Structure 1
Amino acid sequence: MRIKLLSPYWLPVWFFAGAILAGGLMLHLDASHPGGSLSLLDALFTATSAMCVTGLAVVDTGSYFSRFGQNVILLLIQMGGLGIMTFTTLFLHLLGKHVSLNDRLAVGQSLLRDPSFSLGKFLTRIVVATFILEGGGALALWLMDPVGFHPYSAIFHSISAFCNAGFSLYSDSLTQWSDHWGINTIFMVLITAGGLGFYVLNECASIAKKAVLDPHALRKKAYLLSWHSEVVLKTSILLVVVGTVVIFVAEGLANNAPETLSERFLTSLFQSVTCRTAGFNTVDIGSMTNVSLVFMLVLMLVGGSPGSCAGGIKTTTFSALCSFVVSQFKGREQVRLGRYALSQQAMNKIISLVVMAGLLVGVGTMVLTSLESVNANYLMGREKFMVNMFEVISAFGTVGLSTGLTPNLNGAEKTMIILLMFVGRLGPIWLLSALSSWHEEPRYKLPTADLPLG
């Protein structure tokens, strides 16, 4: 049992839990919030939200926490964005210690889906590239608005954006810059880069380098991008475009959008991008139409891409699920996605992930609604069903967007949201694999038979 609890699948669980506990205890100190008290549960909630790069907050980050408390939150965001396992493995590598094959395989499956890469060099590139992107983003924000984004604020928001955390030092998030194309563009670039995944960023950078050094060499290859990167980029672009159109039309028809088409398009585009687990907002989410909120639920549930700072079921899972449905309608035996077909083992994982995500969201929404209806009329609970589901999916997808419910949650509701953020960040498949590692495969097989369906 001791060996299984310390297996590569379970180490990230303990590291995340340990970091959250340590961060919660530091945020509970008076030095983190000298102007008021913060319960241990609220401190753990904030630490979980930061470590899981979610962004849901029970108190205003900018005004309630001291600079020490904000630094603790920023550290947890950075650790959660890169991943505790990445930091730990890199630390062991730099110390010259031996990293076992199981650890190499676990890290490879999490970051690159390729266990044959050079662990030390790749992890070093991840850290260096992350700091360069975050530093560049902070510098750009400071140059755009030196008053609103002074050096510390620029660094805080740049790290929060790239790590898809959504924590802001301003109580209204980014609404005061809703019509500022420069600020919006910087945030969208950082959010997108953090949500694409390190593998995709690394491959795009390599292709860009080859194009500069030898433009003719790229024409000799049939495919410039790998299958994984191609699926990620196409799916990400499609979701952002469709999300922008839906929000633009829905808010426009309800006369709930800015008067100018330029600002209306910008706010729609930003909300579509930030739904991909970023958590920032330039409009009041609670005042948006139900059509926009429903589509935003889908975007939040899908989330970002594998190996990225984002949560959700991931873009590759969504693409594979859509391809599976199309293959069933066309009567194809294979599930074709781009230039390859998915294996049966991959489809089994995809179906398991989607079913588990659906169960977690469904149960979470029902529990949250039931807890809110304890001391209130059940009709009021029914009216808040959409708000509760939005909060649950935002927590599970580590998004951080809220219609305003988070500060009003009671102790039991906050505990449930903490668990959803924790599971959502690690991923249901990871936890399912960790649990299945305790069980051995049976040495026998039962006879198969067909069961009437439909």
Structure 2
Amino acid sequence: MLKKVKFKPPQVLVLGFAGIILIGTLLLMLPVSSVNGQALSFIDAFFTATSATCVTGLVVVDTGTHFTLFGQIVIILLIQIGGLGFMSMATLFAFILRKKISLKERLLLQEALNQGSVEGIVRLFRKVLIYSMTIEGIAAVLFTLRWSQDLGFAKGLYYGIWHAVSFFNNAGFDLFGPVTGKFSSLTAYADDFVINMVSVSLIILGGIGFIVISDLIEYPSKKRLSLHSKLVLSATGILIALGTLVIFIFEYSNAKTLGSLGLGGKLLASLFQSVTPRTAGANTLDLPALRQATQFFIIVLMFIGASPGSTGGGIKTTTFTTLVGAIIAMVRGKQDIVFFRNRLGKDRIFKAITLTMFALLFVILVTMLLSTTEDHDFLMILFEVVSAFGTVGLSLGLTTQLTIFGKVTIALTMFAGRLGLLTLAYALQPKKEKELYRYPEGKITIG
């Protein structure tokens, strides 16, 4: 009699995402998905499906010109499933069928939504669905009203819905290839106030996480925010303001980027390019034309990424804030990291350090590998790797020129970035054994 295999929640998540990617790959390979009626190669279909499911936005073929309506719908469904998490979608069907959510399913939801316990997890999931649909719906209406002026109502409505889903899930896919040129993203709307502000709002809301959104909505009645929400909002605000200032200063006189825009356009474009490394992937400036200092600064922003429990990737704003807090505490000779009169536990600090070191080593390894197989500038390769790991989707033009090995490597990097390196590590680790003893404490010299 065969022994029943029991999977841990992280293993179920890994296998679930892999399954969704495989299904997406097969659908995108169908001739009906391509405008030319020819089947997309397995590697390119796999890359596109991975990028969509991992809500990244890196593309080897232009979405708007290569894919038919069927192919575009497959991609946007992969983005929605990948953004909310396949377990969230499975739970949605359970709600529709009026099925009871089991403890095992609650544990999977806990892992998928990156929560510390199962308490209130189903209630949080209901909020996630309501908030997502409401935000995407409002944005779709605003986009439709604006794009109907340029594209007509029918196309404006389709573009409005499609891009609202893409941008809220921080995917960065766009359909503007037939309108403004292949791989053009939102460059034609660099100084358009409505498009910029709706897009920026979607990206920020998708990037701060559903816990924070819930906290903000309930603030009028509760009159308080959790420590997590305070840290996320503070870190996000500071990073966006700092990014806007740095990009504005570095690119102000660059004729190929901000130089040709008026003051209002310069500020809008700087703000957008500061927000989009939150893992969104859309851009309103020509990224290869940016100065190298700006490109490297964007790499740093992409590595930090979005916030826990969101649709974005990166090491997360709370991890970065914890590291900064540790530095400040060490310099000031303090034993504890304190934020808003709350002390962080040592387990949080160790997790932040572990996650950051994992991420750094992973990015270094992948960059070294691609530096030997891809004949391109180092900064271009590093930009691509960090963009894939942070599930950002920004590129300096390398994606379409990748070798088969490069495409597979970047696809796996997107997969690791979406699920999280710690989740993958937990999924692969053997069964835990209780430690029977501890070694005596030793002292070493640091620094």
Provide the TM-score with structure 1 as the length reference: 0.91
- 2:16 and 2:110 map into 1 onto residues whose CA distance is 18
Question: How far apart in 1 are the matches of 2:391 and 2:125?
Answer: 23
Distance 2:338 2:160 in 1: 44
8 Å contact kept, 1:50–1:73: yes
Q: Give the alignment of 1:39-438 within 5 angstroms.
A: 39-108=41-110, 110-111=112-113, 113-115=115-117, 117-146=119-148, 147-148=150-151, 150-170=156-176, 171=182, 172-208=184-220, 210=221, 218=223, 224-255=224-255, 256-257=257-258, 258-373=260-375, 381=376, 384-436=377-429, 438=431
Change (3 A) 1:439 1:114: closer
How far did residue 429 of structure 1 move? 1.7
Of the structure 1 ranges 258-267 and 59-68, higher mean CA displacement relative to structure 2 is found in 258-267
Select between 38-47 and 102-111 the one with higher mean Cα deviation.
Answer: 102-111
CA contact (8 A) 2:187 2:283 kept: yes
Q: Which moved more, 1:444-453 or 1:152-161?
A: 444-453
What displacement does 1:445 show?
2.3
Report the 3-state secondary structure (helix = DSSP H, G, I; strand = E; otherwise coil) of the residue aligned with 1:305: coil
Measured in 1, the distance between the counterparts of 2:3 and 2:143 equals 48
Q: Once structures 1 and 2 are overlaid, which stretch shifts more, 304-313 or 439-448? A: 439-448
Q: How does 1:22-33 map to 2 (within 5 A)?
A: 22-33=23-34
Q: 1:150/1:93 Cα in 2 relative to 1: closer, same or farther (>3 Å)?
A: closer
Is 1:447 equivalent to 2:433 in the alignment? no
- Cα pair 1:313 1:357 within 8 Å, conserved: yes
Q: Structure 1 residues 14, 112: CA separation in 2 closer, same or farther (over 3 Å shift)? A: closer
Task: Report the Cα distance in structure 1 between the residues aligned to 2:124 and 2:438, rounded to whole angstroms.
Answer: 41
CA distance in 1, matches of 2:3, 2:365: 31
1:135-171 CA-to-partner distances (Å, cap 9, x unmatched) read 1111101111203461111111110010000000013
Determine the C-alpha separation between the residues in 2 that align with 1:5 and 1:367.
Answer: 35
2:179 matched residue in structure 1: none
- C-alpha spacing 1:323/1:244, structure 2 compared with 1 (3 Å): same
Mean Cα deviation higher: 40-49 or 250-259 = 250-259
Q: CA deviation at 1:56?
A: 0.3
Aligned-pair distance for 1:110? 4.7
Structure 1 residue 194: deviation in Å? 0.7
**Counterpart in 1 of 2:8?**
7
Q: Which moved more, 1:409-418 or 1:245-254?
A: 245-254
Moved more, 113-122 or 12-21: 113-122
Looking at structure 2, the residues matched to 445 and 102 of structure 1 have their Cα atoms a distance apart, in angstroms, of 33
Distance change >3 Å, CA 394–CA 439, structure 1 → 2? same
Per the TM alignment, residue 116 of structure 1 is displaced from its structure 2 partner at its CA by 5.1
Q: Alpha carbons of 1:157 and 1:434: their partners in 2 closer, same or farther (altered >3 Å)?
A: same
Relative distance call for 1:370 and 1:187 in structure 2 (3 A) is: same
Q: How many residues align?
A: 433
Which residue pairs with 1:376 in the alignment? none
SS, match of residue 445 in structure 1 = coil
TM-score of the aligned structures, taking structure 2 as reference length: 0.92
Change (3 A) 1:114 1:160: same
CA distance in 2: counterparts of 1:333 and 1:102, whole angstroms = 39
Alignment check: 8 A CA contact 1:320 1:337 kept: no
For 1:2 and 1:183, how far apart are their aligned partners in 2? 56
Amino acid aligned to 1:201 = I
- Is residue 112–residue 199 contact of structure 1 (8 Å, CA) maintained in 2? no
Structure 1 pair 102–338 and aligned structure 2 pair: CA distance change class (3 A): farther
Amino acid at match of 1:15: G
Distance 1:430 1:333 in 2: 29
Secondary structure of the corresponding residue to residue 53 of structure 1: coil
For 2:146 and 2:314, the matched residues in 1 are separated by: 32
The gaps in structure 1 that reach 5 residues or longer are 211-216, 219-223, 374-380
> 1:97 deviation in Å?
4.3
Residue 92 of structure 1 and its aligned partner are, at CA, apart by 3.5
State the Cα distance separating 1:372 from its structure 2 match: 1.6
In structure 1, distance between residues paired with 2:126 and 2:187? 36
CA–CA distance in structure 1, aligned partners of residues 3 and 435 of structure 2: 22
1-side partners of 2:104 and 2:341: how far apart?
Answer: 31
On the 8 A contact 2:87/2:108 being kept in 1, the answer is: no
Q: Distance in 2 between matches of 1:238 and 1:42?
A: 38
Provide the aligned C-alpha RMSD in A.
1.9
Give the C-alpha shift of residue 401 in structure 1.
0.3
Alignment deviations for residues 72-129 of structure 1 (CA, whole Å, 9 cap, x no partner): 0010000011111222234335545454435434533553635254333332221122
How far apart are the structure 2 equivalents of 1:419 and 1:127? 28
Q: 1 CA distance for matches of 2:5 and 2:328?
A: 40
CA gap 1:93/1:371 in 2 versus in 1, 3 angstroms: same
Shift of 1:175: 0.8
Per-residue CA deviation, residues 382-405 of structure 1 (Å, 9 max, x unaligned), is xx0000000000000000000111
CA distance in 2 between counterparts of 1:110 and 1:67 reads 30
Paired residue type of 2:358: M
Distance 1:41 1:425, change over 3 A: same
- Listed one character per residue, the Cα deviations across residues 159-194 of structure 1 (whole Å, up to 9, x for unaligned) are 001000000001311111111101111111111111
Distance 1:98 1:435 in 2: 30
Structure 1 residue 273: Cα displacement? 0.6
The DSSP-based 3-state class of the residue aligned with 2:10 is coil
Which stretch has the larger CA shift, 246-255 or 185-194? Answer: 246-255
Deviations 1:327-372 (A, max 9, x none): 1111111122332111111111111100000011111111111102
Letter in 1 for 2:394: L
Q: Is the 8 A contact 1:195 1:310 kept in 2?
A: yes
Question: What's the % identity of the aligned pairs?
Answer: 41
Q: 2 CA distance for matches of 1:319 and 1:197?
A: 16
Shift of 1:2: 7.5
Higher alpha-carbon deviation: 390-399 or 7-16: 7-16
